[in-house]
Chains A and B, each alone.
Chain A
Amino acid sequence: MEKESSISKKADEFLQIFKKGEEFTKELIKENERLRFRIAQLEETVDKSGNEEKVKLYEDRIRIIEEELNSLLERYRKVEEENKDFASKYVEVEAENNNLANLYVASYQLHSTLDFNEVLRIVLEIIINLIGAEKFAIFLMDDKMNELLPVASEGLTHYAMPKVKMGEGIIGTVAREGESYFSENITYTSNVDAVKPIVCIPLKIKEHVIGVISIYSLFVQKTSFSNIDYELFNLLAGHAATAIFSSKLYTQSERKLTTIQSFLDLLKEKPKR
């Protein structure tokens, strides 16, 4: 009996220990779950805080890149503008270069000869080829008669052209005043009036007018005057005048020299007879 009660006591004790062990295990499992949950929470927190930092970092980078892009775009725009400026300046310089070449050629040709007729021909060439005039005439001043005489023309018969008195009409006024005349209407016309030019340029040596260039019509394709045309008119006013004047004097002196030479030859020949 005593042995039985001892076994029962030991069984109770074992059961108690087992129950305690069960409770302890349950507590351990519970604690484990709680800790797992906590770990999960902490992991989530860590992940979240990591993403935010990354997002912040990326946002900063994007902002910097955007700023750089905007700065580059601004610089590109400026360079493009500068490029356009250079291109337009290049075109201007090219045009100016071409104009200077035209003026150089005109001036070179005008002073390339001392033959009066050759100079007149060159003036005609310049007016045709560089200005684009179709019908025009060159008048020179006859100081004795105080009138302008037509000496050369293109598209017109200068022999049939009238002499113009100083101060008479557009041509005479240009010769008297020494100021160029430009008509407002330069549209092409096949019928021209010999005393009504569309452009009239005085040929001047300093302030002395020796003649005029009178333009009556331009080529069909020439519809307006450009800056180079006005430069050419100025060049003609001065350089053509000196070229015409000096060639005229040279031709006259050549003629006189030939006459004197002939006389001298005659005088030399007489004693021989």
Chain B
Amino acid sequence: MPNILVVEDSPTMRQLIGFAMKRIPQSRIIEATDGVDALKKLSSETIDIILADINMPVMDGLKLVSLVRGNASYKNIPIIMITTEGAEEDKKKALAIGANAYLTKPVQTQELIRLVSSFIS
């Protein structure tokens, strides 16, 4: 049963991603509204994959990725960035600090499902 942590400040996006992830058999969605909230959820739950936005209040997605990669307990969790930033340098930056994949908004649901499935299968 894969536990998917969705880190998004937008309730609309959280609900939309949650809907999409229902297609992944037996998946469980854990929601976090920002990076700090995500770290709390990481300490209390066993997470199989993280889907994170970049632009968020309190702690952004890039900071969250670097903290996760620096932590021995979480460093191997796959991270997919889902963001409005479509420029190539933003993508390179996210991948350089440890994100496994990078999707731009508006997200194509099929692509998101395919990508998440490839990491958790």
Contacts and interface: CB of A to CB of B under 8 A. Distances in A.
Contacts of B84: 128-129, 132, 134, 219
Interface residues of A, number: 24
B34 to A, nearest CB: 15
A91 to B, nearest CB: 8
A95 B20 CA distance: 12
Nearest to A131: B106
Given A128-B105, A219-B105, A102 B16 contact: yes
Interface-central residue, A94, A106, A221, by most chain B CB under 10 Å: A221
Contacts of A126: 12
Contacts, number: 59
Interface in B1-41: 10-13, 15-16, 19-20
B106 A129 contact: yes
Interface in B63-98: 84, 86-87
A130 B16 contact: yes
Nearest to B22: A101
B11 A109 contact: yes
A50 B85 CA distance: 83
Contacts of A105: 12, 15-16, 19
B87 A101 contact: no
Contacts of A130: 12, 16, 106
B86 A101 contact: no
A108 interface: yes
A219 B11 contact: no
A220 interface: yes
Contacts of B20: 98, 101
10 contacts: A95-B110, A98-B109, A101-B20, A109-B11, A112-B11, A129-B13, A129-B106, A130-B16, A219-B86, A219-B105
| A-B residue pairs, 10 tightest by C-beta | A221-B86, A98-B109, A220-B86, A132-B106, A125-B12, A221-B104, A101-B19, A105-B16, A109-B12, A125-B10
